C-alpha cells in the first residue's frame, strides 16, 4: 500500500484497511522520498535529507497508527528514496514479498504527476497483482 496524501492514495489506504481487516492479513504501508523534490544542494546535504526522512517517518507512522486503530494486527511501514514506481517494483516488493499492491491512480507529489502515472508503471512492471484505486 503506497501513500502520498493524494485523494486517490487516501481512498486506496481506506480500501487496504478494509481488505486487510476482512482477510486478517498483514499490511505494509510504503512511502517514497522522491529525489525530484530536492534541489542538488539539498540532495547533497546529509542533514537536509535526514530531516526529510525523519519528517516522512513521522508522517507514515500516523498511517501505521490509523491501521492499528482500525484493527489490523500486523502493520509495517517502509520508507525508501528514489522514483516511487521503480523503487516499489524493484526494491520494496522483492524485500516485502506482498501478495497484492494497492495504489491510488493519481500522485500528489513529484514530477511523475506531470509526465505519466506511477500507478500505470507499477501495474505494468510489478511481479504481483496491482489494484489501482480511483
Q: CA-based angle 124:129:131, to the nearest 5? A: 85
Give CATH for domain 7-133: 3.40.50.620
The pLDDT tens digits of the residues spanning 57-102 come to: 899 999 999 999 999 999 999 999 888 899 999 999 999 999 999 9
Strongest mean pLDDT among 9-23, 49-63, 95-109 = 9-23
Return the sign of the alpha-carbon dihedral for residues 63, 119, 84, 101: positive
How far apart, in whole angstroms, are the C-alpha atoms of residue 109 and residue 114?
Answer: 10
- For the chain, the domains span 7-133
Q: What is the pLDDT of residue 112?
A: 46
Amino acid at each position: 500500500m503506497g501513500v502520498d496524501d493524494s485523494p486517490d492514495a487516501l481512498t486506496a489506504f481506506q480500501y487496504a484497511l478494509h481488505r486487510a481487516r476482512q482477510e486478517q492479513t498483514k499490511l505494509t504501508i510504503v512511502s517514497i522520498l522522491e529525489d525530484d523534490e530536492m534541489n542538488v544542494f539539498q540532495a547533497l546535504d546529509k542533514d537536509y535529507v535526514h530531516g526529510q526522512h525523519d519528517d516522512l517517518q513521522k508522517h507514515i507512522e500516523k498511517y501505521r497508527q490509523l491501521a492499528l486503530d482500525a484493527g489490523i494486527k500486523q502493520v509495517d511501514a517502509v520508507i525508501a528514496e528514489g522514483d516511487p514506481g521503480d523503487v516499489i517494483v524493484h526494491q520494496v516488493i522483492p524485500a516485502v514479498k506482498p501478495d497484492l499492491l494497492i495504489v491510488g491512480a493519481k500522485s500528489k507529489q513529484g514530477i511523475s504527476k506531470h509526465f505519466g502515472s506511477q500507478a500505470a508503471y507499477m501495474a505494468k512492471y510489478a511481479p504481483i497483482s496491482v489494484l489501482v484505486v480511483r
